Amino acid sequence: MRIVLLGAPGSGKGTQAKLLVEKYKIPQMSTGDLLRAEVAAGTDLGKKARAAMDAGQLVTDDVVLGMIQARLARPDAKNGFILDGFPRNIPQAQALDAMLARLGQPLQLALLVDVGADVLMKRLTGRRNCGSCGAIYNIHFSAPKTSNKCDKCGSSLTHRSDDNEHTVSNRLKVYQEQTAPLANYYKAQGKLRTVRGVGTVSIIFKTMTEIIESQIRPLADVMGKIESAAQRAAALAKAEEAKIKAAAKAEKIAKAAIAKAKTAPTTKVKLAVKKAVIKKAAPVSKAKVKAKLKTKKTAKPAKKAKGKSKTKARAKKVK
């Protein structure tokens, strides 16, 4: 299964992605994780990403798409993947669709975790983190038993500086302007399904899995038939192309042979033609020879007679 998760910051899609990975044994592809992994590995894509980040610029879409393509080539992505955090806008979605189409792995489902703006604001501004054990709390929905103290290890909780109302408002505004339109983009493709992201994590997850089981299985069958038809069409096109190439090659060889025959000093073709001409002219030549022979036979007696008369004349003079 090939899924893209959509949702505003604080919608909880990251948490749901990890649960889906556990259940379906397919990798989650988060652009942030991919960037960190490529940079740490020192790959060509990682070097390009680091250069952009060091310059204070955003990593270009082609670099991100290259990282996703490289990740898809790994064995654990054979049965599918979950995209989280990409695409963020319509142009990225179009580029992603084009790349996945080339790989023969188009998206099958877009899952939107829908949460109201007021709930998102409370989730983001009310977050508290434990720096010691990593536990996460929320003063509005899951407050610690003791104010500002971790229930697990007793350490003090911290509040991220960017989890303030002004910063969160700007992040949500950017999401609404750039990323929210993706819902209509995937809806037009018939791939969008929406999950209400309010309630316990387990209830939201149950709803998501029900959607996947009821929607993606039939969709996968249809997509499989489409992919098979496309593969057959490609095979036929390839065979036809091979025939055209073979015909062109044969024509080229024939032209080369004709050209060689014309330029060669003595060729089998010329000899054959010459023999045919001689054979055709042979009867005429024999007739001419016979006529000449006949003429010679009739002329010889005359010469002998003339010779005898001269001898007789000489004999008379002697007498």
Q: The domain spanning residue 64 has which CATH number?
A: 3.40.50.300
Sign of CA dihedral 240, 242, 246, 252: positive
Which residues span the domain enclosing 100?
A: 2-115+170-229
Instruction: Look at residue 279 in the predicted model and tell me its pLDDT.
Output: 54
On whether both 110 and 43 belong to a single domain, the answer is: yes
On whether both 72 and 191 belong to a single domain, the answer is: yes
Q: How far apart are CA 214 and CA 255, in angstroms?
A: 63
Please report whether residue 143 resides in a domain: no
Instruction: Look at residue 319 in the predicted model and tell me its pLDDT.
Output: 47
Please report whether residue 178 resides in a domain: yes
Please report whether residue 56 resides in a domain: yes
| Segments of the chain with pLDDT less than 50 | 284, 300, 302-305, 318-319
Cβ-contact 92, 181 below 8 angstroms? no
Q: How far apart are CA 136 and CA 163, in angstroms?
A: 13
Domain edge (last residue) among 229, 246, 272: 229
Please report whether residue 124 resides in a domain: no
Instruction: Look at residue 256 in the predicted model and tell me its pLDDT.
Output: 78
Please report whether residue 245 resides in a domain: no
Q: How far apart are CA 124 and CA 10, in angstroms?
A: 6
Q: Please list the active-site residues.
A: 13, 88, 127, 160, 171
In this structure, the number of other CB atoms found within 10 A of the CB of residue 81 comes to: 25
Instruction: Look at residue 301 in the predicted model and tell me its pLDDT.
Output: 52
On whether both 179 and 276 belong to a single domain, the answer is: no
Instruction: Look at residue 182 in the predicted model and tell me its pLDDT.
Output: 96
Domain edge (last residue) among 229, 249, 273: 229
On whether both 97 and 222 belong to a single domain, the answer is: yes
Please report whether residue 164 resides in a domain: no
Please report whether residue 240 resides in a domain: no
Please report whether residue 68 resides in a domain: yes
Percent of the chain with pLDDT over 90: 46
On whether both 107 and 221 belong to a single domain, the answer is: yes
Instruction: Look at residue 247 in the predicted model and tell me its pLDDT.
Output: 84
On whether both 195 and 311 belong to a single domain, the answer is: no
On whether both 191 and 309 belong to a single domain, the answer is: no
On whether both 296 and 209 belong to a single domain, the answer is: no
Instruction: Look at residue 280 in the predicted model and tell me its pLDDT.
Output: 52
On whether both 90 and 216 belong to a single domain, the answer is: yes
On whether both 190 and 314 belong to a single domain, the answer is: no
Q: How far apart are CA 268 and CA 245, in angstroms?
A: 30
Calculate helix-pair angle for 90-103, 61-72, nearest 10 degrees: 30
Q: How far apart are CA 11 and CA 124, in angstroms?
A: 9
Instruction: Look at residue 269 in the predicted model and tell me its pLDDT.
Output: 56
- Radius of gyration for the chain, computed over Cα atoms and rounded to the nearest angstrom: 46
Is the pTM higher than 0.95? The answer reads no
On whether both 302 and 217 belong to a single domain, the answer is: no
Q: pLDDT (tens digit, 9 = 90+) per residue, 201-243?
A: 999 999 999 999 887 766 556 656 676 777 888 888 888 888 8
Pair of tokens at residue 9 = 């910051």
On whether both 92 and 12 belong to a single domain, the answer is: yes
Domain count, the chain: 2
Domain edge (last residue) among 184, 208, 229: 229
State the average pLDDT for the chain: 82
